Each structure stands twice: as structure tokens, then as C-alpha cells.
Structure 1
Amino acid sequence: MKHLAIAAGILTATSAVAADKPELTVYTYDSFVSDWGPGPKVKEAFEAECDCTLNLVGVEDGAALLSRVRLEGENTEADIVLGLDTNLISAAKETGLFGPHSITADYALPVEWTDTVFVPYDWGYFAFVHNADAPAPTSFRELADGDAKIIIQDPRSSTPGLGLLLWVKASYGDDAPSIWADLADNIVTVTKGWSEAYGLFLEGEADMVLSYTTSPAYHLIAEEDASKAAAPFDEGHYMQVEVAAKLANTDQPELADQFLNFMVSDAFQTIIPTTNWMYPAVTPSSGLPEGFETLITPQKALLFDQDKAAAAREQALAEWLGTLSQ
């Protein structure tokens, strides 16, 4: 029985040590915490640096994060929210739930970054991904006039879905409703998030799926499969910058700041290209992985600034809902 008592004592001591470690809770999107996403490597790397426990909580897709935190309010368990983007920053600030940061970094973004609340960690361009051996449209007009079947994401729960709305709005302005009317018969389904949509595309449920210009890099690098491509559109491509911020009422402010600093470090940024399959916000010392040079480069980058995005989002969503419900 003595060995059982000793074992019990060791377990108790180990539990006590674990309990003494501070815990940082990060709300993010499901694909970030998946086995193939950045989450596992980020957790391992940060815990080795902080001597803490990093608790990554998946909350569907990006746009659902803001709804979750807004609903929980000051009672949220989150210390950091990671996975909003520039289209949601204005709405996020209006909640008053997020606190300022003092992070500085040598960003490799296509836009200047001066925001004092949200810290960028990656970026990319939205695109429709298709099988490389199949013809693809070169514009929304051509897509709408053709027979290609597409899968998109719901803009109320998904940042790519919202990005698509703003992509169409930025490209066509007041004519956006007519584009949606013509696209309606191309849409196979509207999913809540990116993971479900991309999975259905890979299962052959549609000819194209709303994703990113960087998505083919996953197949090329991880699977040695060059069968996927992103279709370049004449209108240009809408850009996404993904961001994170700490909650103003976090009980781990120093640890939250440490994580935000870690997020723009080489240790974090080297993980992003081949797990989140996006461009890193800060170029890693090792550069981009081989294969990224094969990706299309949009001839025109589209992006509403934070304030204009908020106004455009409401109008574009109303137009989208009104048109597709007819």
C-alpha cells in the first residue's frame, strides 16, 4: 500500500504545481484549434516560454467570436480574442470590451497598421478555389453568367462570408444587389463557417468554394498535390487582415500582453504559413515556405477602412439577405 500512497502523493504534488500555473484563455475559430491548424504548435511554443497554461477555445468561425464575446460581456472567460478581422474591428470597439496594447512590430502588411487595440497576426486575399484542370471564371459577372456551382459562407457567422459581401460591394457598389440576384442560382449552399464549406468542396459538392488565394499552397506543400487553384478576378480581390486583442477586464493583463508580443514574434509567425495557410503579419526570418511563390498575386487589392467597413457591412448584409430571400 505504501507505493500507492507515494504515487498518490506525487499526483497531488503534480496537480498542485499545475494549479499554481497561471492560465490564459484565448477564444478563436475552430480551424485555428484543429489538429492541423496553428493551435497545437502555438500552445506548445507559448507554454514553453510563459510557464503557464494556454487554453485555446474554438468558437465556430471568426464572426461568431464577436457575437459570443458580446453576449458574455464582462463575464466572459476570454482573456484574448484571436480571429476577428478589419471588417469587424469597428463593431468590436463599440462593445467597450477590449483594452489597448503597446505592441510594436515590423509588419509586412500591404496596409499601414496603427491600431492601438487590435494586433494583426496574418493576412490574405479572398478567392474562389477550384480544380486546376477545370475552366474558371475571371470575374463575378462571368461567374454569375456561367453554370459553375459555388459554396459560400454565412456573413453573419463567418469572416470569409462577410469578406465576400464586401468584395462584391467594393467591386460593384450600388449594382451589388444585381450581382447577388444573378449569383443566386450558382450557390449550392451557405455554410456557417469556412471548414464546413471547404470540406464540402473537397467532397465534390461544388465546382468552387470561397476561400483564399493561399489555399492551394496547403495542397501543394502538405499533400504534394497541385490540383487546386485560385481564380484571379478582374475586379481585384478583397483583402483580410486577421487580428487579436485582449479583453479590458482580463485578470491576466501581463500574460495577455506577453501573448500578444509572442504573436508577432518569429516563433509564432513561422507557424502561420503552413498551418493557417495565410501570409504572416511579420515576415519570419526563414522567409515564406517554398510553394508560396506559385500563388496568384491580385492585380488590385480591395479593402474598406475600419469605419467604412462598418457602414458597408450593414448595407451589404441587408442587400444580400433581401436578394437571396426572394
Structure 2
Amino acid sequence: MRRSLIGLAFLAGMATTAQAEDTPVLTVYEPDYFTSEWGPGPQIEKGFEAQCGCDLQFVAGDVLSRIMLEGKNTKADVVIGLNTDQTARARKTGLFAPSNEDNSRLTLPIKWTDDTFVPFNWSETAFIYDKTKLKTPPKSFDDLLNAPDDLKIAIQDPRSSVSGLALLLWVKAVYGDKAPEAWAKLKPKVLTVTPGWSESYGLFTDGEVDMVLSYTTSPAYHIIAENDDTKAAAIFPEGHYFMAELVAQLKSSKHPELAQKFMDYVLSDDFQSMIATANWSYPAIIKDGFLPKEFADLPRPAKTIFYSEDEAEALRQPALDEWLAAFR
């Protein structure tokens, strides 16, 4: 009997191993935050695997740099988390396949016509403050620049952070040739420039700075997850810079049908309905029930600022040079 049980266990183990070997693996490159406990990755993985008959494996890191380094030898089937200001450099690699998605379904504040990169969520950059600590927040970008120099702000480095780069383009859009003057006024108020968003936001939540560069949707997290309505975005009449996170599939994918299925899943109701409270952003497709009331009630800027990828790429280095000149 014992030998029979051992034999059955062995056969069961062999069957499980064979089944695992037969399960296709879809590899998705994503930013570090994506698969953290507060990121959307775990929910996405669970939802997609329930319908794909595959093993979805996320690989965290700097998505664009890794793809550019690996080139045609990349193991990625799909990349997720690229930013609208990165698509020009990503497209030049020639590594990406058409999305085969219908952009007319998108409910963005801008018109999206790209047939390769697909937005899965969006927000606008903003400076976040605590209403209990900053009683008179700036009501415009000019107010921010002309605020007392003892106002303490945290921003992100545009060389390592997509939100930091967005701030460069935001300032350039608002102030044009006078951007260097704007940076000169802002610099005394910047307590620190961090490599990424999380470091800056941690300084803000720890009370070490009065304002932090983040997104208009950031207060939703505090309201919904922490029952804290003291955090707010300063909304400026000059407009706020649009940012979307994107997904795209690779030409070199070993599982092109699965890659396409994942692209389709990104714009499905299942995926889009989880975005608001999984990634604390507006979903790319908003339908009834996709936004909690607290989220839907957030103030929106009257003007959305957006550069095409060619415009953003052309401005990136000049804007970075202006910023470096001010912050060296």
C-alpha cells in the first residue's frame, strides 16, 4: 500500500510539473511601484490569469532603459507603465507592434490617436498640500513662484523621474522663454530634489515639506484609503500638465496572441474598473461605477496642458538644461 501511495504521489508530481511546463508565460516589464502591495499589479495579475490560461510574470525596473539596452533580445512580451513623454524614444527603437485597439473608446481630456501605445490611466501634475498646515495655498503658478521663500517644497529629479520631467514641461508650457526666471524664483522654496516620487511624497506625509509635486488625483488615496480629507491639490488657472501611463506589445514576443489578449484586457471593464483605487488615477475609459464618489468629486483644472511626443522630445533637453542651470 505504501509503495502504491508513493507511486501515486510521484505520478501526481509529474503531472503537475508537466502542466506547469505547458503553461505559457507572459512576461511584462513594469515600473517598481507597480507590483508593490499598494500598486495595481497584484489585482491585474489575478484578473488576467483567471481568463488567459497563462502565467503572467511582472519584471520590475526602469522599463524604457531596459528595453533600449536589451533591444531585439528582450524577454518582454509587453511593457506597461511607460509615460507619454517617453514614447518618442521608445518608438525609435522599432521594437513595438501595433496595439490593434480602438482609441475611440477612450475618455481622456485630450484626443489620443497613437496606434502603438495605449493609455491605461491618466492624471495631471499638481502640487499637493495639507489644508491644516498651509492655510493660504498658492492659487496660481505665479502665486507659487512669488510665495515667501520659507515655503518648503519637494520635487523630483527630471533625469530619473517621469513626474520630474513632467514638471519641466509644465513650466515650459506656462512660461516659455521665461522658464529660467520661473526656476530662479522656485529654487529657494525647493527643500529637496529626490530621485523619485515616493521619496518626495514620503517627506510630505512626514510633515517635512509644505507641498510636494504629485498629481491631481493624489488626495483620493488619503480620502478613500485613510479617511483623511486634509490633503488637496492646488489647482492653477494656467493649466496642469497631462500625464498618462501606457501599455504596448513587443514585435519579438514569443506569445503574440497572449500579448494581444493582454492589450485587450487593459481596456476591458475588469481592468479599467480597478484603476481608480488600485493606481489612484483616472481610468482611460470611465463608465458609470468606475469612480468612487470621493474620487469623482476631486477638483479638476479648467485647462489641460499636453505636448505631442515630438514636441515633448524637442523640448526635453533644452528644458533640462534650463533646470540644471538653476539647480546646480
Per the TM superposition, whether the score is higher than 0.5 is yes
Runs of 4+ with deviation above 6 angstroms? none
> Pick from 319, 323, 326: which aligns with 1:323?
326
Is residue 132 of structure 1 aligned with residue 131 of structure 2? yes
Residue 291 of structure 1 aligns to a residue in which SS? helix
The C-alpha deviation readout for 1:191-246, integer Å capped at 9, x for no partner, is: 22222221222112211111111110111111111111111123211111221111
TM-superposed deviation, 1:35: 0.9
TM-superposed deviation, 1:125: 0.8
| Residue in structure 1 matched with residue 68 of structure 2 by the alignment | 70
Task: Give the distance between the partners of 1:203 and 1:186, measured in 2 at CA.
Answer: 18
TM-superposed deviation, 1:50: 0.3
Structure 2 unmatched runs, 5+:
none
Counterpart of 1:167, as a letter, is W
Structure 1 unmatched runs, 5+:
none
Is residue 204 of structure 1 aligned with residue 207 of structure 2? yes
Counterpart of 1:139, as a letter, is S
Query: TM-score under structure 2 normalisation?
Result: 0.93
Residue 270 of structure 1 aligns to a residue in which SS? helix
How many residue pairs get matched? 321
Residue 224 of structure 1 aligns to a residue in which SS? coil
> Pick from 167, 176, 189: which aligns with 1:173?
176
Task: Give the distance between the partners of 1:32 and 1:251, measured in 2 at CA.
Answer: 23
The C-alpha deviation readout for 1:10-58, integer Å capped at 9, x for no partner, is: 3332232122111111111122211111110000000001010111122
The C-alpha deviation readout for 1:85-143, integer Å capped at 9, x for no partner, is: 22111111111121112111511111122111111111111101110222311233322
| Residue in structure 2 matched with residue 12 of structure 1 by the alignment | 14
- Is the contact between residue 266 and residue 285 of structure 1 (CA under 8 Å) also seen in structure 2? no
Counterpart of 2:116, as a letter, is V
Task: Give the distance between the partners of 2:73 and 2:224, measured in 1 at CA.
Answer: 42
Equivalent residues in 2 for 1:1-326 (5 A)? Answer: 2=3, 3=5, 6-59=8-61, 64-105=62-103, 106-133=105-132, 134=134, 135-145=136-146, 146=148, 147-325=150-328
Query: TM-score under structure 1 normalisation?
Result: 0.94
Counterpart of 2:37, as a letter, is D
Task: Give the distance between the partners of 2:295 and 2:66, measured in 1 at CA.
Answer: 34
Task: Give the distance between the partners of 1:129 and 1:8, measured in 2 at CA.
Answer: 59
Task: Give the distance between the partners of 2:8 and 2:291, measured in 1 at CA.
Answer: 51
TM-superposed deviation, 1:261: 0.4
- After superposition, the Cα gap between the structure-2 partners of 1:205 and 1:4, relative to the gap in structure 1 and judged at 3 Å, is farther
Task: Give the distance between the partners of 2:60 and 2:208, measured in 1 at CA.
Answer: 26
Counterpart of 1:20, as a letter, is D
TM-superposed deviation, 1:4: 5.0
